[in-house]
Amino acid sequence: MRRLLNIAVFLIGLLAVGHGHATSVLRIGIPALPLTLDPHLAITRADHMLARELFVGLTTLDAEGKIVPGLAESWTVSPDGLVYTFLLRDKLVWSDGQSLDASTIVKSIERALDPTTMAPFAAQLLLIKNAENFRLGILPPGEKLGIVARDRRKVEFSLLAPSQRFLQLLAQPVAVPVPVRRARDLAQDWAAPETVIGNGAYTLISSPQGYALKKNPKFFAADTVAIESVGLSVFAASDMAIDALRDGATDLALGFASAPRVGSLLNQELIEGDGVDLYQLAINVSRAPFDEREFRHALGMVIDRAELIKTLSLANAEPAFSVVSAPPYKPLRAPYARLDRADRRVVAEALLLDVDIPTLRPIRFLTPRSGLHEAITNAIATTWRELGFKIDVVALDESALESAILAGDFDIAVNVAWQQANTVDAALFVFGQTAGPWNTAYYREPEFDQVMINADAELAPDLYVSQLRQAEGVLIEDQVNWPVFFYPANVATGMKLNGLMANPAHIHMLRYLSGS
């Protein structure tokens, strides 16, 4: 079982950050505590956020959320795209000084695939040759898992097929190395706050007052890490985190449900980036009546996206009709996007002719406990009520909302549990069966999965884009979620931080930050 870190504040005698002085201490507001410190068991946003600070994989992310070398200083790919050979940096060690070599990478991937580990995202590793049979314990004689340590610094992966996503996968917590012998000897306790060791930019400090992050002097790039200590405070809602920024109680808010900027509001607190973000509603397609495609089309098309933007004064927002928001790719649009509001209403009512609306149970619509999120949700709910539906809008603290989505306890929800994406393939990937808990729609469509498999294995750029467009078309036809707005990616901060770049993935590695 996971160890629940039931602590309200991550502050351990940290000094207040003073503007005008070099910043060595950073105070961050987050919506929840991690459920686990074991990166292979990471499932929530908080789990992933902390895992990225305590651990690093063969690849990692830069300040913009793009793939860069991590533990591997370089790699080569065979002409057929099937074999990746990584050269590890010299003299890598864990935070306790123990050596980390290529054999650790192999054993860690084996651990993540082991069904007894119960890694929620292990399915993402099945693109490695023989991974599925390894996981099931049915490797044929003479066959091995497609990963081998050639020497202490060289590790080689063999894949089932070429993969556009493989380097991105290796940066995910499910693929990072862990101290396998320690994990075996201490069992669950290896990832307890008092005993966890990692190889990332920070280590965890535990005390009766809470937890904090401290710079790891053993990190391979420790000389580039400017922030020495990080304290984290938990706020149940984004509004509370913004208030803390304004009051000077914190310096940065991470992990909260993103939303478009409202007019000039929060200008001093929000940094907008070049990337395009997506505000979208998750639909639980496994529950009636949302298991009917026509029903989903009807409710999705009557959402008046343009009117919401106007009424709520959402700055730089545009109506969204596709999950893809990664320029320069031009997303497809749902057919009803060409209709005006009146015509969409007529078509929706036609699609609902066979639905006995008065007899339906109330629709459970979940939203973050936040003024803006609740305003958006209530406006959409009002539109559906005009069609005769009973809508129960439930505002929850963000951690409770994420838990409800991951448990499938919703009909519709402002989606705070999915993996945000800054690439086209990542935006579509989350609707496939190998996406694990990120598939918050509980969508199961073999045609979509096969198209995504074909796209991932396609090396020709034009054919790759063509496959992705086909997959996008399947999603639009099936209406497995409702995109609402595109808007500039943003991040909330109360001070000037160098290296802080808003990006659609909402991943902000603390090791890149510095301030004054």
| 305: CATH | 3.10.105.10
pLDDT at 516: 62
Sole residue written with tokens 């990166």: 39
SS3 371: helix
* Cα 41 from Cα 27, distance rounded (Å): 26
Domain-embedded: residue 415: yes
| pLDDT tens-digit series, residues 151-207 | 999 999 999 999 999 999 999 999 999 999 888 888 878 988 888 999 999 999 876
Residue 39 shares a structural domain with residue 165: yes
* Cα 189 from Cα 373, distance rounded (Å): 39
pLDDT at 451: 95
CA angle (414 as vertex; 409, 391 as ends), nearest 5: 65
Residue 228 shares a structural domain with residue 287: no
* Structure token digits, residue 16: 């207040």
pLDDT at 384: 98
Residue 342 shares a structural domain with residue 460: yes
Res. 265 pLDDT band, cuts 50 70 90:
low
- Residue 493 or residue 394, greater confidence: 394
pLDDT at 205: 87
* Cα 26 from Cα 47, distance rounded (Å): 19
* Structure token digits, residue 302: 């009557």
pLDDT at 441: 92
Angstrom CA distances, 279 to 70, 318, 484, stand at: 31, 10, 6
| pLDDT tens-digit series, residues 347-396 | 999 999 999 999 999 999 999 999 999 999 999 999 999 999 999 999 99
Res. 510 pLDDT band, cuts 50 70 90:
very high
Domain-embedded: residue 266: no
Closest CA to 53 of 210, 253, 212, 272: 212
Question: Do residues 487 and 325 touch, judged by C-beta distance below 8 A?
Answer: no
Residue 283 shares a structural domain with residue 168: no
CA angle (87 as vertex; 84, 92 as ends), nearest 5: 135
DSSP 40: G
Domain-embedded: residue 121: yes
198, 233, 268 — which closes off a domain?
A: 233
DSSP 426-453: HHHHTTSGGGGGG-TT----HHHHHHHH
* Cα 12 from Cα 36, distance rounded (Å): 20
514 strand-pairing partners: 498
DSSP 313-365: TEET-EE--SS---TTS-----GGGGS-HHHHHHHHHHHTTT--GGGSPPEEE
Residue 54 shares a structural domain with residue 129: yes
- Residue 419 or residue 236, greater confidence: 236
Please name the residues in contact with 460: beta carbons below 8 A apart, sequence gap of 6 or more: none
Residue 41 shares a structural domain with residue 136: yes
Question: Do residues 212 and 229 touch, judged by C-beta distance below 8 A?
Answer: yes
Domain-embedded: residue 263: no
Q: Which of 114-118, 218-222, 457-461 has the lowest mean pLDDT?
A: 457-461
How many CB atoms are located within 10 Å of the residue 196 CB? 25
233, 267, 290 — which closes off a domain?
A: 233
Sole residue written with tokens 């050269």: 87
Give the H or E element holding residue 236: none
pLDDT exceeds cutoff 50 at 20: no
Residue 199 shares a structural domain with residue 311: no
| pLDDT tens-digit series, residues 223-232 | 999 999 999 8
3-state helix, strand, coil in the chain (%, to 5): 35, 20, 45
pLDDT, average across residues 281-303: 97
Angstrom CA distances, 23 to 6, 55, 80, 233, 271, stand at: 29, 23, 48, 18, 19
* Cα 67 from Cα 422, distance rounded (Å): 11
Res. 262 pLDDT band, cuts 50 70 90:
confident
CA angle (482 as vertex; 478, 483 as ends), nearest 5: 120
For the chain, give the percent of residues with pLDDT over 90. 73
* Cα 143 from Cα 131, distance rounded (Å): 11
pLDDT at 96: 95
Question: Do residues 93 and 80 touch, judged by C-beta distance below 8 A?
Answer: no
pLDDT at 210: 59
Domain-embedded: residue 48: yes
pLDDT at 17: 39
Number of domain units in the chain: 2
pLDDT, average across residues 416-442: 83
pLDDT at 1: 36
Strands 497-498 and 363-368: unpaired
Residue 180 shares a structural domain with residue 311: no
233, 252, 284 — which closes off a domain?
A: 233
Please name the residues in contact with 299: beta carbons below 8 A apart, sequence gap of 6 or more: 348, 384, 389, 482
Q: Which of 16-25, 242-251, 369-378, 484-493 has the lowest mean pLDDT?
A: 16-25
Provide the strand spans (E) within 375-429. Answer: 391-396, 412-414
Residue 174 shares a structural domain with residue 310: no
Domain-embedded: residue 405: yes
Residue 83 shares a structural domain with residue 223: yes
Residue 484 shares a structural domain with residue 431: yes
Closest CA to 32 of 404, 372, 436: 404
Closest CA to 511 of 99, 199, 249: 199
Please name the residues in contact with 323: beta carbons below 8 A apart, sequence gap of 6 or more: 278, 280, 331, 427, 428, 431, 472, 475, 481, 483
pLDDT at 471: 95
Residue 74 shares a structural domain with residue 166: yes
pLDDT at 505: 78
Average predicted confidence (pLDDT) for the chain = 90
Res. 264 pLDDT band, cuts 50 70 90:
low
* Cα 488 from Cα 387, distance rounded (Å): 32
Please name the residues in contact with 68: beta carbons below 8 A apart, sequence gap of 6 or more: 59, 60, 61, 62
Domain-embedded: residue 514: no
- Please give the span between the terminal C-alpha atoms of the chain, in angstroms, as a whole number: 42
CATH number reported for the structural domain that contains residue 69 in this entry: 3.40.190.10
* Cα 370 from Cα 8, distance rounded (Å): 20
How many CB atoms are located within 10 Å of the residue 414 CB? 28
Domain-embedded: residue 247: no
Residues of the domain holding 98: 9-233
pLDDT at 65: 85
